[in-house]
Structure 1
Amino acid sequence: MSDLATSSAFSLATPPASAATNTTTTTSEATLSSDFETFLKMLTAQARYQDPLEPLDSTEYASQLAQFSMVEQQVLTNENLGIVQTQIAMTNMELLSGMIGLEARSDAGAYYDGQPISITPNPAAASDTVYLVVYNSQGMEVDRRVLPVSAEPVNWNGVTRDGIPLPEGQYRFHVESWADDEKLLDEAALTYSEIEEAQALDGRTVVILKGGIQVDSSAITGLRQPPDDT
């Protein structure tokens, strides 16, 4: 089974966001225009009722105008940044929508449904003992077994080393590397899970894996076609 590059382009037609963008921009411009008119009225009133014996310096007017201009630019910048972030998230989601049905490689764990889970360990080269440690969705350790000092994939069949079958559900996998009774490394192992959905959340693109596992799209390190069971 060959991995697919995560940068592969996929296309899926989605409704354009230009209408919403134009509406937001028009609203912002109208608000700023109204605020500027209010500001000018206040400035005019200030000049009209100033003490003639202590007239305001023209530099004060210039300073107030500059401050308003800075606020105006900041508001427009924030609006534009929000629009750009939304458009980027939508573009990323379009790309990931084409990946639905593929299997994504990540360290987010996997959903056990009775079928073996393929795990890719990456133990420290200096280790003399390597353990696969399995945690359930509550973070409790439910299995621990010795692995070869190798990066070759291994299958976990949902049964503990004592022969106790574990229920279906979400599991996370860690690989501990030891040498001379000292732990050298403890890191999450990589697994493949089917992509079921892609969502845009708070400017990020989140992928929903089998079993409802959520993972940021930037954390996906590989893609492949599902194994052919026939």
Structure 2
Amino acid sequence: MDIGSITAGLSGQAQRATTGLVQDFNTFLTLLTSQLQNQDPLEPTDSNEFTRQLVSFAGVEQQIQSNQNLEDLATLTAFSQNAAAVNYLDKTVTIAGDTINHDGQSDLSFEYLLPVTADSADVKILDAQGNIVFEQPGQTNFGVHRLSFDSFDGGNNPVPPGQYTLRIDARNAENKPIETPLFVRAPVKEVETSGLTPLLTIGGQKVPLHEVSAVGL
């Protein structure tokens, strides 16, 4: 893993800010030195004024050091995030969403969360054209329910590769719809660490690491 490429954006911004501060610092030092060299020996710089200038001098120096410390912290944070992201390879993760890309071989795995117990729940899986390829009654009790689709339609025919979407129509005893959060589960096939945020390739889509809600084997 190339830490230089991982933190290029952060380092560039911090470097520009630090360069500006160093230039201001050097200008301040030059002016202060010139003032001391050219002061009237009979009327030297007032001690209070000199103290204020030294305090300003110290403040600029501390600001430069703070910038460097922040840059180091950003570099370490980015490295830590990307190192952690690599550990997700080949592990099954859960993310919020309703669509997953089918490779033509693996089963598709979804989850849905019922915030309350439903009176009925209709589960459908649609292809990219909106055609229903799978439908069955779903579980209705409160909580998270997992659905595994073996990639065969109602006629026991294998479905082709492509995008498939989960639809849940859950209703209460008054036949009113219940809002149902949906999730997809899939193994991490690739980890991209070239940007500021690690991206995981999951079910044919790139997802930021922070959107992963659960990790399994």
Q: How does 1:120-139 map to 2 (within 5 A)?
A: 120-132=111-123
Q: How does 1:75-114 map to 2 (within 5 A)?
A: 75-96=67-88, 99-100=89-90, 102-108=91-97, 109-114=99-104
Residues 199, 206 of structure 1: 8 Å contact kept: yes
Identity of aligned residues (%): 16
Unmatched 5+ stretches in structure 2: none
* Offset at residue 215 of structure 1 (A): 2.2
Residues 110, 171 of structure 1: 8 Å contact kept: yes
SS of 2:87's equivalent in the other structure is: helix
Counterpart of 1:205 in structure 2 is 198
Counterpart of 1:147 in structure 2 is 137
| Partner Cα distance (1:91, 1:184) in 2 | 40
Residues 192, 198 of structure 2: 8 Å contact kept: yes
State the AA in 1 paired with 2:76. V
| Partner Cα distance (1:114, 1:94) in 2 | 26
Counterpart of 1:5 in structure 2 is none
Change (3 A) 1:216 1:121: same
Indicate the larger mover: 78-87 or 125-134: 125-134
Unmatched 5+ stretches in structure 1: 1-13, 225-230
Counterpart of 1:182 in structure 2 is 176
* Offset at residue 142 of structure 1 (A): 5.3
SS of 1:82's equivalent in the other structure is: helix
| Partner Cα distance (2:24, 2:50) in 1 | 22
Counterpart of 1:8 in structure 2 is none
Residues 133, 174 of structure 1: 8 Å contact kept: yes
Residues 111, 182 of structure 2: 8 Å contact kept: no
| Partner Cα distance (2:126, 2:165) in 1 | 5
SS of 1:181's equivalent in the other structure is: coil
TM-score, normalization by structure 1: 0.61
Residues 134, 174 of structure 1: 8 Å contact kept: yes
TM-score, normalization by structure 2: 0.64
State the AA in 2 paired with 1:117. L
Counterpart of 1:44 in structure 2 is 33
Alignment deviations for residues 42-63 of structure 1 (CA, whole Å, 9 cap, x no partner)? 2223455679699682343034
Change (3 A) 1:72 1:168: same
